[in-house]
Amino acid sequence: MENKSTYTCNKYREEMMLLCLKKRLVRETLTEEEKQIVKVDIQKLESAMGME
């Protein structure tokens, strides 16, 4: 029997949040302080997703 991992709604949500944060990071309209906050949020989310 094959071992298929379950792709849940929460996993999808985390991926979309990460994508949104990464897109936001490249916007030129953010201040340096805002960019640092987004970088921290990205690191936290990647850690929670096991992407360290």
Q: Residue 3: what pLDDT?
A: 59
Nearest Cα neighbor of 14 from 47, 45, 50 is: 45
* Long-range CB contact pairs, 41-46, < 8 A, 24+: 42/18, 45/14, 45/17, 45/18, 45/21, 46/18
Domain ranges of the chain: 10-48
pLDDT at 28: 76
pLDDT tens series, the chain, 52 aa: 565 678 899 999 999 999 999 999 987 789 999 999 999 999 999 999 988 7
